[in-house]
Amino acid sequence: MAYWVKIYYERNEYVINFERVTAFCHERNGRITFWLPNCAIPIVINPQNNPEDYQKILDYIEHVIELGFEKSYWVKILYERNEYIINFDSISSFRHEPNNGRITFWLPDSTVSIIINPVSNPESYQKVLEYIQNITGYFFKS
């Protein structure tokens, strides 16, 4: 079932199926960024300039986190001082660097790569490892 939302951004109206959005970035300054499906256009919603649409996004994020793993594998990770809420089921590849243990993956519908370091970000690193092991059955050797 689709989760359609109408938002306003840069003087345009968008009607977006949020179930097709694969990642949200909640920045330290409060802004939320997400990328439109199939086109990599970032939408940045500021709580001061657009409180109604900002709340719609927060409501959706809360909705998918509450669902847990029933429909998809949404995970919160910290990266570069921002909180990313990512549907790991939409990630199509992971790269592991055996010499330093880093894991890299790329957010669909964007140009953003996420590089998780086991030393500086152990909690998020563990979430990525668990997903890879539980869903794909593959293990990375450190």
Q: What is the pLDDT of residues 10-36, one digit of tens each?
A: 999 999 999 899 999 999 999 999 999
Answering whether pTM is above 0.85, one says: yes
| Average pLDDT score over residue span 116-129 | 92
- pLDDT band for 69, please (50, 70, 90 cuts): low
Tell me if 24 sits within 8 A of 32, measured CB to CB. yes
What residue segments make up the domains of the chain, in order of their start?
Answer: 4-136
Q: Contacts for 126-131 with beta carbons within 8 Å, 24 or more apart?
A: 127/75, 127/77, 128/77, 128/88, 128/94, 128/103, 129/103, 131/73, 131/75, 131/88
